[in-house]
Amino acid sequence: MPEFDRFTLAVIDDIADREQASDGRSRYGAYLAKYAADFREGGEPLTPVDFAAVAWSVATFPVMSPGYVDVRPDLQPLTVHRDHDGRAVLCAKVGLRHGHLARRPASRPRPLDWERDPWGSHDDPWPVLVGPEHTDRPAVLLTATVLLPVPDGILLRPTAARPGRTLTHEAKTVVAALAAHANEFLSPLVDDLLAGGR
């Protein structure tokens, strides 16, 4: 299990990727080959934004399990997509407990809230939140969607549209840049959201 902290949302383990590779080089590369059709549009390589989105999607759960990129378990999913202006955006879904909200009057009964996944570790600092098992009263399950623009400078124009070392290298490069961007700029936003419920 990767080591996560307040400011580490995404972790890449190239050693495990190589050690678990069916081709002896890269497990992620084998998945890229399996999803090769997603890396071409009319036989041509994708745009930098679309390439980043597809490379990230293949690198993360549920396509790869465990992923080439492991995402902190309380942030599922963490995705990359194209916004309305055609720019790349990182998108995190963050489950929030009522404690993250402004105080409520004590006179009102408190609705049910997110609960820790009963199958998860009870000492996990980043618990997976699930809906209440029994809903004998109202439940309010809050999720914040955090969007972070991805600068064009960390994207790259792929030179390969077919599986192989070049596609794997380019996909690993852009995925590593996206993970670093998430860890540096998305993690403080998520940390601020979760600070009220600690």
- Looking at the chain, the whole-number percentage of residues with pLDDT higher than 90 is 51
For residue 47, the tally of other CB atoms under 10 A from its CB is 16
Among 11-20, 41-50, 96-105, 160-169, name the most confident range: 11-20
pLDDT of residue 78: 93
Task: Let me know if residue 26 belongs to a domain.
Answer: yes
Q: Which of the four pLDDT bands, split at 50, 70 and 90, describes residue 101?
A: low
**pLDDT band at 14, cuts 50/70/90?**
very high
Shortest CA distance to 71 belongs to which of 92, 87, 55, 51? Answer: 92
Count of structural domains within the chain: 1
Residue 1 lies in a domain: no
Look at residue 103 in the predicted model and tell me its pLDDT: 54
Does any domain span residue 147?
yes
Q: Who has greater pLDDT, 123 or 73?
A: 73
Is residue 129 in some structural domain? yes
Position 5 in a domain: no
For the segment 140-158, the average pLDDT, to the nearest whole number, is 89
Q: Does residue 2 belong to any structural domain of this protein?
A: no
Domain of 18 in residue numbering reads as 10-197
Q: Which residue has the higher pLDDT, 112 or 102?
A: 112
Q: Which of 19-33, 85-99, 174-188 has the lowest mean pLDDT?
A: 85-99
Please determine, for residue 164, whether its predicted confidence score (pLDDT) is greater than 60: yes
Residue 163: inside a domain, yes or no? yes
